[in-house]
Amino acid sequence: MESIFPIECEIPSLKIAVELLPKTYSLEEHLVHLEHLDEQCRDVAIKNKAHKKRIKTQYDKVVCPQNLSEGDLVLVYDQDKDALGVGKFKYMWYGPFIVKHVLKKGAYELIDFEGNKLTEPKNGLYLKK
C-alpha cells in the first residue's frame, strides 16, 4: 500500500525508518539528502558572506568618497546634459558653489556667491572640488 505522505513526514528519524522499513533504500537516500541540505545551506551562506566581503573590499579600493567641508568651492555635474549626443564642447559642470552644510550619507547643501540656496541637496558623487 502506497502512503500519501512522504516518509520524512510519517517517520521522523532515519534510524527508525531503516529499522521499520528495511526495503526503503531510495527513501533512505532521500532522507540523507535532506539532512545534508542544512549543511549545504550553511556552507553556501558562509561562502556568500565571504564573497560580499571581497566585493566590498574591492569597491572600497576603487571608490574614494568626497571629503568636502563647509566653505569649500565646488562645481556641480550637469545631469541634464548626461545623455549621449549633447555635443562634446558643451560644459558638463556648472558653478562654482559654496558648501553650506554637510548632510548625512554624502549629500551637501550648496549656495552660490550671492547666498541663493540650490533647490535640492546634491550628492557628493556629482561634485568636484
pLDDT, tens only, 10-23 = 556 656 656 666 66
Give 26-50 pLDDT, tens digit per residue: 667 777 777 777 778 878 888 998 9
Reported confidence tier of residue 51, pLDDT bands at 50, 70, 90: very high
Residue 16's contacts (CB-CB under 8 Å, 6 or more residues apart) are none
Q: To the nearest whole number, what is the mean pLDDT of the chain?
A: 77
Given a cut of 90, whether residue 59 has pLDDT beyond it is: no
Indicate if the alpha-carbon torsion angle 101, 102, 103, 108 is positive or negative. positive
The residue length of the chain stands at: 129
Residues 6+ apart with CB under 8 A from 82: 92
> pLDDT-based confidence at 6, cuts 50/70/90?
low
Report all structural domains of the chain as residue ranges with CATH numbers, in order of start.
7-62 (no CATH), 73-128 (2.30.30)
3-state secondary structure of 115: coil
